[in-house]
């Protein structure tokens, strides 16, 4: 279950309900899907063949369909990061640069752990969302954030896209159009 940690105070918000409520207050979608349905290599393997990718996505087909219908998402794939990923430490240095996207960034944690640090769209207060297996987050378009791994140094996640081509990192905050600067 995800945990929220405020960057400045290190204060925590724990418990699915509390986490979901706080994220909702910031205009961020959070869901927790039943991960116990995923067993064996679907859960454990970090060598994701196209067949394995499809099998994992199929397990959560209903949830993905419902969310996609609600938010207009079009496609999905699986990303894996681990100590075996070539250049992982360099990649992580790149990932911690604050940025936004013009589309939602949606991640469902299949295995491992990940941390999104988000500049709260409502109050500009920075907080970490520490994600564990079963957690889904949709970081809204134009919301400033960055991503990193925990000390576990591995994550396997489903990415869900509005359109794959449009999903690029924009590092310059001044490029956020005035009417998109706040979601609330």
Which residues here bind Fe ion, judged by CB under 5 A? 105
Q: What are phi and psi of 12, to 5 degrees?
A: -110, 150
Q: Render 41-84 in DSSP notation, one character per residue.
A: HHHH-S---HHHHHHHHHHTHHHHHHHHHHHT--EEEEEEE-TT
Q: How far is the CB of 105 from Fe ion (least distance, A)?
A: 5
- Residue 100 counted as an annotated binding residue: no
Locate 104 and state its tokens: 């939602």
Q: Which residue minimizes CB distance to Fe ion?
A: 105
Cα-Cα-Cα-Cα torsion 76, 97, 165, 90, nearest 10 degrees, comes to -70
With respect to Fe ion, which residue has the nearer C-beta, 33 or 147?
147
- Residue 145 counted as an annotated binding residue: yes
- Residue 89 counted as an annotated binding residue: no
With respect to Fe ion, which residue has the nearer C-beta, 105 or 111?
105
With respect to Fe ion, which residue has the nearer C-beta, 50 or 177?
177
Binding-site positions for Ni(2+): 99, 101, 105, 145
Binding-site positions for Fe(2+): 99, 101, 105, 145
């Amino acid at each position: 279950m995800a945990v929220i940690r405020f960057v400045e105070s290190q204060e925590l918000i724990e418990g699915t309900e509390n986490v979901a409520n706080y994220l909702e207050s910031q205009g961020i979608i959070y869901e927790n899907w039943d991960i116990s349905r995923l067993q064996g290599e679907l859960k454990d393997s970090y060598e994701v063949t196209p067949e394995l990718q499809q099998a994992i996505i199929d397990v959560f087909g209903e949830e993905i369909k419902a969310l996609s219908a609600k938010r207009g998402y079009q496609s999905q794939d699986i990303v894996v990061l681990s100590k075996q990923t070539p250049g992982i430490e360099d990649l992580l240095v790149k990932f911690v640069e604050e940025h936004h996207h013009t589309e939602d960034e949606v991640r469902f944690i299949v295995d491992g752990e990940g941390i999104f640090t988000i500049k709260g769209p409502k109050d500009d207060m920075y907080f970490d969302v520490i994600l564990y297996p079963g957690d889904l987050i949709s970081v809204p378009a134009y919301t400033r954030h960055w991503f990193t791994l925990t000390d576990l140094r591995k994550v396997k996640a489903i990415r869900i896209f509005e359109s794959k081509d449009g999903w690029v990192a924009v590092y310059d905050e001044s490029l956020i159009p005035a009417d998109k600067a706040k979601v609330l």
